Chain A
Amino acid sequence: MLFRTAGQFKTSYLKDQTLFPVRQDAILLGIILAFAWVIFPLTASEFTFQTLLIPVLVYSLAALGLNILTGYAGQLSLGTGAFMGVGAYACYKMITIFPEMNLLVAVLMSGLFSAFIGVLFGLPSLRIKGFYLAIATLAAQFFLVWLFEKWAWLYNYNASGAIQVPHVEMLGTPVAGPQAASMTQYYFVLVVVTLMTILAINLTRGTQGRIWKATRDMDIAAELIGINLLKSKLTAFAVSSYIVGVSGALFVFLWRGAAEPNLFDIPISFRILFIAIIGGLGSIMGNYMGAILIVALPVVLKTLPETFGIPISSATVEHLNVMVVGALIVFFLIIEPHGLARLWTLIREKFIIWPFPH
């Protein structure tokens, strides 16, 4: 595949702003979409759906939400897991109170609840920055998980303290609950993730994206050129928490099927943060790359030695996984802060000027 820009000229400012200024990029995207929409779902086994395809999509979406806040607007958050929880519990309450409710509508509305909570916890961001803001979001993380445990109304007073996804149908097909087929759930998640991605791309490439990036790069200058910093940051918290909340609803309703409060605790917040960092802060595409890596790594570590006939215990896989992820984080933080997405851009640039590198 060759990336050639020669002979591709832009004749209007609008065309210059299109998503794929280089035609080959559009072709590549077409191939990826064909895999995501047709080839994977038709060929995937139950195991692949549950351990790779669906989690990759759900985690990418959560990382996309975090990336808007941290990568684009420059506000570090360690509370992603808790905001996923807000989305999940909101969806659970809506579906159990109104069993006739359309699940797609419920999922999309769940994000509104986490957006609201996100804005509340985002208020301190005007006064505190960086490390201190991260600590404030950590406080949100602890408080919300505590709330998920103590507020029995949230889990409908179940003796277990967990939420159990009920049977939900759309157009006569089960989409959530024990009877839902993996392929149906995969397509449901894919539709939502595609929709959110389009909205996120549009927001980050236009006016709002510039406002966020200006806030991130130099807040004082941003304010002096006319940006209302409070509004900019709160909008970032709102949009970010919305997407994270939607991913939380998908996480429980379309994948896990049940959730205990501690599912939304710090480990998942860090997991999402790692995906965003490895994929690349300030990139949309990076979230998918990061999620593929983080989700697939343990599977690969387990199956690869087995195919060569080397027995490997799951405890060893776990240790190996932690070590590799740790090394990757260090590598990306120090060597390539823009993550896998930047590595891809560099390769692509090489292709564009190939075979005349000067």
Chain B
Amino acid sequence: MNDMSQDGYVTEDGRQIGGVMMEMKNITLKFGGVVAIEDISFDIREGEIRAIIGPNGAGKSSMLNVISGFYHPQEGEVWFHGTERPAMKPYEVARQGVARTFQNIALFEGMTVLDNVMTGRLTHMKSGLLSQAIWWGKALQEEVKNREVVEKVIDFLEIQSIRKTPVGRLPYGLKKRVELARALAAEPKLLLLDEPMAGMNVEEKEDMSRFILDVNDEFGTTIALIEHDMGVVMDLSDRVVVMDYGKKIGDGTPDEVRNNQDVIDAYLGVAH
């Protein structure tokens, strides 16, 4: 690995990675007797693509849920932009510039693609109820301004032709893409992707990989993603955290992780 000073590092493909954006310190999360996350620490740096991998039930989704503020860990601290984050509601975390997609698609099925993506802009909407009710002034300006941002995202992800289609009618792969669009519409600083390519065919995976790289490249968005396909992880990510049974068993560049004996054991199912 290259220089890992506080100021960041330069990736193999020559991108400059910045300082620490989000830091998880000694996180422990329990559900009754089940320990989903046990004393895990890692950081996510500005501009990097950070992968979280591990076998089923390792606690990866739980970790994203902690970052999103959906789960509150029993122990440990979450640091964001250099300050400790108090226990927050998910909507407050979203307003700090954290957007995400879900392992099981969580779109608003009764709304069109356009409306779904527009909901991604809600954290940027400020007009009051009255102004909206008379469809005048600030509400109208906001509607147009946010529509412009949304249309850029729609162009970017190449979903122009399904703009007005109700989401419920879309095939699985497109739904995943619409979900990414909704997250991108928020113009997040940190984008969390929970298995963005699960259940996709090879072609769809390639498209999605390209979109993820482009997002990172064009908008400088920091990305944390969970993925099972090792090929994809190796191609996309700058650094990888490996989890198994709630514990962290590896952390480093894809090459380092691939050669880590604990990781190899976990994936080959060696007895614990």
- Listed in ascending order, the chain A residues whose CB lies under 8 Å from chain B are 12-14, 17, 199, 202-203, 206-208, 210-211, 213-214, 216-218, 220-229, 235, 239, 282
Contacts and interface: CB of A to CB of B under 8 A. Distances in A.
A13 B149 CA distance: 11
B106 A203 contact: no
A58 B91 CA distance: 38
Contacts of A208: 129, 132
Given A207-B139, A223-B89, A224-B94, A282 B132 contact: no
B80 interface: no
B227 interface: no
B110 A282 contact: yes
Given A14-B144, A207-B122, A213-B115, A226 B91 contact: yes
Contacts, number: 104
B127 A225 contact: no
B204 interface: no
Given A214-B119, A227-B122, A206 B110 contact: no
Interface stretch (B17-25, B52-60, B95-103): B95-103
A211 B122 contact: yes
A222 B119 CA distance: 9
A207 B90 CA distance: 19
Nearest to B167: A217
A218 B132 contact: no
B4 interface: no
Contacts of A282: 110
Main secondary structure of the interface of A (DSSP, over half): helix
A339 to B, nearest CB: 14
A13 B147 contact: yes
Interface residues of B, number: 40
A224 B139 contact: no
A206 B122 contact: no
Contacts of A14: 140, 143-144
Nearest to B123: A226
A202 B115 contact: no
Nearest to A229: B91
B134 A225 contact: no
B143 to A, nearest CB: 6
Contacts of B139: 206-207
B266 interface: no
A228 B94 CA distance: 10
Contact of A213 (B70, B110, B143, B147): B110
A227 B91 contact: yes
A166 B99 CA distance: 57
A156 to B, nearest CB: 34
Contacts of B142: 207
Contacts of A226: 91, 94-95, 122-123, 186
Nearest to A226: B94
Contacts of B89: 223, 228
B143 A206 contact: yes
Contacts of B183: 225
Contact of B132 (A12, A203, A221, A224): A203
A349 B211 CA distance: 34
Contacts of A213: 108, 110-111, 115
Given A207-B142, A225-B94, A202 B134 contact: yes
B156 interface: no
Interface string B200-238: 000000000000000000000000000000000000000
A199 B107 CA distance: 27
